[in-house]
Amino acid sequence: MAAFIPRFLWTLAVLVLLIVLGTLGYVLIEQQPLADVLYMTVITVTAVGYSEVFDLTPTGRTFTIILLLCGISWMGFWFANITSFIVELDLKAALKRRRTCRKSRS
């Protein structure tokens, strides 16, 4: 459990970094209002797939592709961390049961 918390915080920090960089990137590239670019960033990073909030320039499309790939990679890390946490908990419980069985047999 103690090892999970730093991994969870790191994964959360990467998500925040992706959202901040994505928002700044859209502001600089597309020069749209902050609320629109933040929404565009969140739907891109999470791969929700809603249509674009505003028309994208070719540079904006390239940026969206990169941001989408980073978001999908982040989701892979997130699911891997959750799976690791579940497996670690289950493994600890199994080892505890095994030790208990060995003690009862002795």
pLDDT at 48 over 90: no
pLDDT of 71: 92
Check: CB of residue 32 under 8 Å from CB of residue 55: no
Torsion of CA 86, 89, 93, 94, to 10 degrees: 50
| pLDDT tens-digit series, residues 7-40 | 888 889 999 999 999 999 999 999 999 999 999 9
All structural domains of the chain with their residue ranges: 4-105
| Residue carrying structure tokens 């730093």 | 6
DSSP assignment, residue 49? Answer: -
- Residue 25's alpha-carbon distances to 15, 58, 101, in angstroms, are 15, 14, 58
pLDDT of 29: 95
| pLDDT tens-digit series, residues 56-82 | 999 999 999 999 999 999 989 888 888
Average pLDDT, the chain: 86
Which tokens hold the place of 92? 């600890």
Question: Does the domain formed by 4-105 have CATH 1.10.287.70?
Answer: yes
What is the pTM for the complete model shown?
Answer: 0.75
Give the integer Cα–Cα distance in Å for 56 and 62.
Answer: 9
Residue type, 97: R
